[in-house]
């Protein structure tokens, strides 16, 4: 995962990642390195990289490739792209998805999810304070006084989808806290309209979505 320049609400020792998922109807076999290169979505160095090792798999039901700056995974029901340690900025994911949709004009896309996540080094004591504030364990003192928070998810409905927040202890070395914020849009409508709405949603709400995610993780950090 790339180290993203932290906002004022994020500690300097934080590790960020971004993901975009499209739900719809896809042909996984199409999304292969040669096709992506032919559509100028990757370059020759990306294609050569993914072919030089065990970094690509293409079948009729699943295709996946780990390129230097993006991971692409496609099933018949979804397309998922995520950042890597070499991703300069989450914006590259948005540009990739918009470009991909532009060369798949008749692909049905009925759902769009944008996720931003962070591992943060806050120290074990501060993590425990955050965990106790979010999910007090006192109700379980008589039966499991030593219970620890493993995962907490809260979901807020939106008129066009939902917002999901996950808080967990980090499983990444040297970090204590993991926060993931997902914004999901239910696109609906006719297949062509869905694709257009996906592009428009990414263009219109991208910065707002990232800013909201950073505000949420800042709020979580403020609990400790």
Tokens linked to 209: 């979505």
User: What pLDDT does residue 149 have?
Assistant: 85
As a whole-number percent, the residues of the chain with pLDDT over 90 amount to: 76
Q: Is the pLDDT of residue 180 over 50?
A: yes
11-15, 100-104, 179-183: segment of lowest average pLDDT: 11-15
Task: Tell me the pLDDT band of 145, cut-offs 50, 70 and 90.
Answer: low
Model pTM score = 0.90
Place of tokens 């293409």: 58
- Tell me, rounded to whole angstroms, the distance of Cα 87 from its chain centroid: 13
Residue-averaged pLDDT of the chain: 90
Tokens linked to 14: 């934080």
Q: Is the pLDDT of residue 63 over 90?
A: yes
CA dist 54 and 109 (Å) reads: 30
CA dist 125 and 127 (Å) reads: 5
Tokens linked to 66: 């780990």
Q: Mean pLDDT throughout 122-136?
A: 92
CA dist 33 and 191 (Å) reads: 26
Tokens linked to 40: 């100028």
CA dist 85 and 87 (Å) reads: 6
pLDDT tens-digit map of 12-39: 678 899 999 999 999 999 999 999 999 9
Q: Mean pLDDT throughout 142-166?
A: 89
- Tell me which of 161 and 10 has the higher pLDDT: 161
Beta strands 177-186 and 161-169, pairing class: antiparallel
Place of tokens 């967990």: 168
Phi, psi torsion values for 28, nearest 5 degrees: -55, -35
């Amino acid at each position: 995962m790339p180290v993203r320049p932290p906002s004022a609400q994020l500690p300097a020792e934080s590790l960020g990642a971004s993901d975009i998922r499209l739900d719809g109807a896809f042909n996984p076999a199409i999304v292969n390195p040669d096709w992506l290169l032919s559509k100028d979505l990757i370059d020759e160095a990306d294609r050569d990289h993914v072919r030089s090792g065990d970094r690509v798999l293409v079948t009729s039901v699943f295709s996946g490739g780990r390129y230097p700056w993006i991971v692409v995974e496609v099933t018949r029901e979804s397309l998922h792209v995520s950042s890597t340690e070499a991703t300069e900025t989450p914006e590259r994911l948005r540009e990739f998805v918009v470009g991909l949709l532009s060369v798949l004009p008749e692909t049905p896309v009925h759902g769009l999810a944008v996720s931003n996540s962070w591992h943060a080094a806050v120290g074990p004591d501060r993590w425990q304070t955050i965990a106790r504030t979010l999910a007090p364990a006192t109700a379980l003192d008589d039966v499991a006084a030593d219970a620890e928070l493993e995962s907490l998810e809260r979901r807020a409905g939106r008129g066009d989808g939902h917002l999901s927040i996950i808080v967990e202890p980090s499983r990444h070395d040297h970090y204590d806290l993991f926060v993931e914020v997902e914004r999901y849009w239910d696109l609906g409508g006719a297949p062509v309209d869905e694709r257009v709405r996906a592009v428009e949603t990414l263009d219109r709400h991208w910065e707002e979505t990232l800013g909201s995610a950073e505000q949420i993780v800042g709020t979580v950090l403020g609990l400790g």
